[in-house]
Amino acid sequence: MNKTRKGDVLLSKFRINMLPTNKLLHRFNIVSSSNCEFCIHDEETISHILLHCSRYRDPRLQLLKEIQDLNTDYSDTSLQSLLNLDKNAKIKLRAFEKFFLSCNRF
Ligand SMILES: [Zn+2]
């Protein structure tokens, strides 16, 4: 799968909350634990990957920079705010796509 196609697939799964995190995979008995393999004690959810996991610190900083460059509210980095698709929706979605590709998790 080429990078553009892979990015589109990741973005689609992200938008319908179906990225294959350990939480989701565990729900379908595909993996034995829902926890993050890197953090061990934290459940691996999309918000864990986007906001908390230290493994993805660098891609997260890049994502936040790209979103903040859109002149949105700099102080609000909540998941709700990050996912708010406003007039900059296309740019934000491309930033998320880049984030997930950079993570090399999926
Ligand atoms: Zn983690």
CA 87 to ligand 1 center in whole angstroms: 31
**Angle, vertex CA 22, rays to CA 48 and CA 41, nearest 5:** 60
Gap between the Cα atoms of 41 and 54, Å rounded: 13
CA 49 to ligand 1 center in whole angstroms: 6
Per DSSP (E only), the strands in 1-106 are none
- 35 has which bridge partners? 43
CA 80 to ligand 1 center in whole angstroms: 20
CA 58 to ligand 1 center in whole angstroms: 13
CA 62 to ligand 1 center in whole angstroms: 18
If you ran DSSP here, which 8-state letter would residue 52 be given? I
The tens place of each residue's pLDDT in the chain, 106 residues long, gives 676 889 999 999 998 999 999 999 999 999 999 999 999 899 999 999 999 999 999 999 999 998 888 765 556 667 766 666 666 788 888 999 999 999 999 9
CA 106 to ligand 1 center in whole angstroms: 14
CA 100 to ligand 1 center in whole angstroms: 14
